[in-house]
Structure formats: structure tokens, C-alpha cells
Amino acid sequence: MATPATTPRATPPAVPGNRPRMRRYRIRSLTPNGDITENFQIAPALPLFEEAFSAFARGSTLDTDAGPMAIEDLLPGDRVMTRDGGPMQVRWIGSTIYVPGHSSHLERNLHLTRIMADSFGLARPASCLLTGPAARLMQGGPDSVLTPVRTYVDGVSIIETAPPAPVELFHLCLSRHAVIRVSGLDFETYHPGADAARRVGQSLRPIFMGMFPGLSGLEDFGRPAYKRAPCGFSQAL
């Protein structure tokens, strides 16, 4: 189902009937020999797929072993700093473009979260940070859980906002589930979750796994490294 292209484009037009709306996803990954592959894949615009591509907006800055780097400049093979294990190699980066006011339910109802500078303390974040509905934040000590950013919305320093223009959102995978530093705050990398086998039905599993080159099954994501607060991604859409 992969379709090569040279530049990202927005979601294809809606399809009639009861078929799920489709979305165009950009996928970059690291091969076993260290090469970088890139492809664009058309897949259902369902929460199962959306959450793998919609944590951080373009311009978000990640801590890497080479210093701060904008997420749109990050490449598979780069090493990002993790909360507990030092630098780890980026294995996969996914992104997609959302168009506000588009005919799809997702675009009409997409809400991002804008975190103003110093909302969680000095330089946390260091500057205004825009996150997508899949972003989960870790606050506190090692027993803390990963909590959807939208649960912190207070209408003052942490604000829910609808994008006025097309916005590109990203997510990334390391060799295992981890917490990384983004603009001074701790966020999780992508993992389908401990309940992935239940959520990813047999009919969608080949399509879903096809978005992660080099992984043959859900077990290849490994075990989640941290617990998540019981709040579903789909509630944000």
C-alpha cells in the first residue's frame, strides 16, 4: 500500500459510503544496515493509526546528543536523550498533515494543546510548545504515569486550540519505549500500548504493521516502559 512521492500532501478526499476515511502518512525509518528509507502510505484515518503520527507539532525541539534539534530536522539514526537511559537512536519517524476545516470529522474536531513557556516551572517548557492529541507527558518521579497533555489544560497557560492553518504533526520510535525531553518537558516516544493486540484487529494488523518497516509483529515494540493514565486518544478528536 505504500505510494512513493516527493513532497508531503494533505489527506486524500473523502470516500463515499461506510468505508473509513483514508489519510496520507509519511514514514521514515532506519534499515538494519543503517540506511534511511522514506515512503508515503495511504491508510485509514482511525485513532489506531492517527496516534502514531500526532504527538508533536513542527518546530518542537528535542534534546539530542548533538544539542537541541527541531523535530522536522531529526532523522532516523540520530540519538535523542532519554530520561533514564542516556542517548538512544531514533528508529522511526512518522508525520502527517492536518487541514483545518477539511470535510473529515478529524480535521473539523482536531484540538491541539499550546503550552506556554514556564507553565511547569522555569524553562519547562523553554518556549511555547504545541502538541498533538497523542502527546503524553510525564511529571514527577519514577512512579509517575504518562498523562495526555490535554488533561492539564487550564485555559490560562495551557490552552486547547484549533489550528488556523495546515499543521504537520510528528511522532517517533526508538529501539524501545522511552521518555524523551522536548522543549524542557518529558514526553513518551510512540508505543501502541499494552492493549495493542486487542486494539489492532486481524483485518487491520497487516496494514498497521506495514507502517513500521523492520517490525514483523506487535511484540517487536517491546513492553511499555511506563504506565499510562487511563484516558483514550480518541477522546481528543
Q: Is the pLDDT of residue 149 over 50?
A: yes
CB environment 125-152: b (16+ within 10 A), e (fewer):
beeebbbbbbbbbbeeeeeeebbbbbee
Which amino acid, one-letter code, is at 153?
Answer: V
CA 150 from centroid of its chain's CA atoms? 14
Which amino acid, one-letter code, is at 160?
Answer: E
The whole-chain average pLDDT of the chain stands at 87
Which amino acid, one-letter code, is at 56?
Answer: F
Q: What is the pLDDT of residue 78?
A: 98
Q: Is the pLDDT of residue 138 over 50?
A: yes
Q: Tell me the C-alpha to C-alpha distance, in Å, between residue 69 and each of 52, 75, 122, 140.
A: 20, 10, 20, 24
Higher-scoring residue by pLDDT: 130, 16? 130
Give the model confidence (pLDDT) of 20-69 as tens digits: 789 999 999 999 999 999 999 999 999 889 999 999 999 999 999 999 99
State percent of the chain over pLDDT 90.
71
Burial of 168 (0-12, 13-18, 19+ CB in 10 A): buried
Query: What CATH fold (topology level) applies to the domain 22-112+129-149+163-221?
Result: Endonuclease - Pi-scei; Chain A, domain 1 (2.170.16)
Task: Taking residues 80-92, report their average pLDDT.
Answer: 94
Task: Taking residues 92-110, report their average pLDDT.
Answer: 74
